[in-house]
Amino acid sequence: MNKNVIEMDRDIIDPTAPLPKLEGHVSHTRFERVLRAGQFAVTTEIAPPDSADPAEVVRRADLFSGVVDAINATDGSGANCHMSSLGVCAILTKNGYSPIIQMSCRDRNRIAIQGDVLGAAAIGVGSVLCLSGDDVSVGDHPEAKPVFDLDSISLIKTIKTMRDKGQFLSGRKLDKPPSQFIGSTINPFAPPLKNRVDQLAKKIDAGAEFIQTQYCFDIEMLQSFMTQAVDKGLTERAFILVGTGPLASARTARWLRKNIPGIHIPDAIVDRLEGAENPRLEGRKICIELMARIKEIEGVKGVHVMAYKQEIHVKSIILESKVLGDRQPWARSNPKVFRN
């Protein structure tokens, strides 16, 4: 019997069984395999439901089946309360998806966070994204106590210490260290623009192995940031995935610009949406065009598609952008596609 059939059987019987960790890899994830194999990676994010229903998580994830290499589970994004990222990741893992658990410093101190890192590793979550997190004041519980015991960089360092030194921040030894692919974020489009690349360097020095950026709507700005990153050799030390997503209308674009700090949308894009007959369609077209251009920029290793409330369009956006080439990522519904 050939090996593929065995692989196939295993996929059907137990899609959650971890893949073997390859030589030189830090985790067992498909996501890390795709990146280290030099392929252009595509990730997206799932909006965790306001619900205790696991089927809802699977339903939302299935929208991305076969077009993405990993799915980010957001951690109370916008400081709004939803199902926890650990819970979402447990369900995703159980269904064969390769999740990236987002960990923000807003809600938990170092004791809780390190516990969650171990918990996530134990259930097979092999990628983790370290963020500082939005402030509680912008969310639905502005009266909550903000924690911010760590910041994104000390969080990266903490997880790296656990993984590579096999110990907690306190120095206490771990019996079995977690093996996670460590990531973080960067916003190349917010001040101080000339220091954003220094901030990136700090994150990589701390231990970030992959980076997902804020939404990119401005190719020139991205280009200048990436040129600096390439010049400093940073793109050799970490995989950079550029954030992208469809805008629903000129009004949404203006609202985002005004209300979500850190999102930069040039006037040209807003005008284009304004003038369009079907703004939603135009928004997706812009996103598709941007993705194709982002892929051409030196040093970019993938895209991260964030399509809040437009998740049903993610698949067609990715396919139409052709960024995957002829590669098809693992699909849950199609057991014939292997998890490579």
Partner 1 sequence: MYKVRLWCIKRSRLLETVYLVTKPAIVLGLNAAKKVFGRFLDRPVIVVERSIKGFLFDCQMCGDCVLSKTGMSCPMNCPKNIRNGPCGGVRENGMCEVKPDMLCVWVGAWDGASRMKDGGGIGNLQPALDHRSKGTSSWLKLTEKRSGDE
Cβ–Cβ < 8 Å for 185, 211: yes
Binding of partner 1 by 199 (CB under 8 A): yes
Q: Kindly write out the interface string for residues 207-246 of this chain, putting x where it contacts partner 1 by CB under 8 A and - elsewhere.
A: -------x--------------------------------
Query: Residue 285, interface with partner 1 (CB under 8 A)?
Result: no
**Can you count the helices (H) and strands (E) in the chain?**
13, 8
Q: What is the dihedral of CA 191, 197, 201, 207, to 10 degrees?
A: 70
202 binds partner 1 (CB under 8 A): yes
Stretch that binds partner 1, among 13-21, 24-32, 151-159, 227-235 (CB under 8 A): 151-159
Name the residue nearer to partner 1 (CB basis): 222 or 318.
222
State the first-to-last Cα distance of the chain, in angstroms, to the nearest integer: 19
Q: Which of 84, 132, 167, 227 binds partner 1 (CB under 8 A)?
A: 132
Q: Is 162 in the site for partner 1 (CB under 8 A)?
A: no
Residue type, 15: P
Residue type, position 264, single letter: H
Does 111 bind partner 1 (CB under 8 A)? Our answer is no
> At its nearest, how many Å lie between partner 1 and the CB of residue 143?
15
Alpha helices in the chain (DSSP H): 3-13, 30-36, 54-62, 85-94, 110-122, 152-160, 196-206, 219-231, 234-237, 250-259, 267-275, 279-296, 314-321
Cβ 25 to partner 1 shortest distance, Å: 24
Task: Note the Cα 274 to chain centre separation in Å.
Answer: 30
Report yes or no: 174 and 127 within 8 Å, Cβ to Cβ. no
Considering the complex, state which of residue 149 and residue 320 has its C-beta at the smaller distance from partner 1. Answer: 149
CB closer to partner 1, 79 vs 88: 79
Minimal CA–CA distance to 158: which of 142, 178, 139, 141? Answer: 178
Instruction: Provide the sign of the torsion angle of the four alpha carbons 300, 302, 190, 198, taken in this order.
Output: negative
| Among candidate residues 68, 123, 134, the one with its CA nearest the CA of residue 101 | 123
Candidate residues 43, 85, 158, 321; the one interacting with partner 1 per rule CB under 8 A: 158
Q: CB-wise, 8 or 144, nearer to partner 1? A: 144
Return the structure tokens found at 193: 């623009």
Site track for partner 1 across 240-279, x = CB under 8 A: ---------------------xx-x---------------
Q: Which is nearer to partner 1, 57 or 186 (CB)?
A: 186
Candidates 56, 62, 149, 274; binder of partner 1 (CB under 8 A) is: 149
Q: Which of 62, 151, 274, 320 binds partner 1 (CB under 8 A)?
A: 151
- CB-CB contact of 210 with 204 (8 Å): no
Q: Enter the tokens of residue 265.
A: 């949308």
Task: Pick from 30, 106, 304, 313 the residue near partner 1 by CB under 8 A.
Answer: 106
State yes or no: residue 187 binds partner 1 (CB under 8 A).
Answer: yes
* Angle made by CA atoms 210, 213, 219, in degrees to the nearest 5: 125
- Taking the least distance from each CB to partner 1, the nearer of 25 and 237 is 237
Could you give the CA distance from residue 262 to residue 259 in angstroms, rounded to a whole number? 9
**Rule CB under 8 A: is residue 108 a binding residue for partner 1?**
no
Q: Does 304 bind partner 1 (CB under 8 A)?
A: no
Q: How many residues make contact with partner 1 (CB under 8 A)?
A: 38
Residue 62 in contact with partner 1, rule: CB under 8 A: no
Chain residues binding partner 1 by CB under 8 A are 105-106, 110, 132-135, 137-138, 146, 148-154, 157-158, 169, 185-187, 190-192, 194-195, 198-199, 201-202, 205-206, 214, 261-262, 264
